[in-house]
Amino acid sequence: PDALPVEPFRLAQLRAPQAVRLNNGLTSPAKYQIRNQSTIWEVDARQLTDTAVVMLRRALEKQGIRAVPQAEKTATFRIQVRGGMAQFVPVPTVAASARLTLHADLGDGTATSVDGESGSGFGVQNAFEGAIQNALQRLLIDPAFVAYLNR
């Protein structure tokens, strides 16, 4: 999560200071397999959601928005893996791509979803982390999310 920061200008429209509780809505592992002819890679949507929550928390805290367990405002996140591809290439490395959807259930009963996608010449994990970063960039300009945090 440290290597993939959220662009600070995307946070500029959020009211600070304030507090929000960020939750992972996936309470058990949610495994997804990516296969090619010779290898199977497995990703866990619960762990991907944990990564998204940590990345978002760090970005919000840099802007003066604290993520605390007792906050009135809440956002519960779930990542849904939409697809992935991986193959070995001669370098040797693994070229990979990832697509996912980040769902956010907000404390006022509303919800929003944003897609994220990314590719990487450095493996499956980097592709999924890039897709999470892409989804968070979109979340931070999503009208429903911004309106909820600015109330």
Overall pTM > 0.85: yes
The band of 3, judged by pLDDT with boundaries at 50, 70 and 90, is low
Write out pLDDT tens, residues 13-60: 999 999 999 999 999 999 998 887 777 889 999 999 999 999 999 999
Write out pLDDT tens, residues 76-91: 999 999 988 776 677 6
In angstroms, the CA 18 to CA 65 distance is 5
Write out pLDDT tens, residues 95-145: 888 999 999 999 999 999 999 999 887 788 889 999 999 999 999 999 999
CB atoms within 10 A of CB 70: 6
Phi, then psi, of 32 in degrees rounded to 5 = -135, 135
Distances (CA, A) of 59 to 36, 66, 107, 133: 35, 10, 20, 11
Helix (H, G, I), strand (E, B) or coil at 85: strand
Residue 93: predicted pLDDT? 74
CB atoms within 10 A of CB 137: 15
Q: CA-CA-CA-CA torsion for 84, 35, 53, 62, nearest 10 degrees?
A: -60
Helix (H, G, I), strand (E, B) or coil at 129: helix
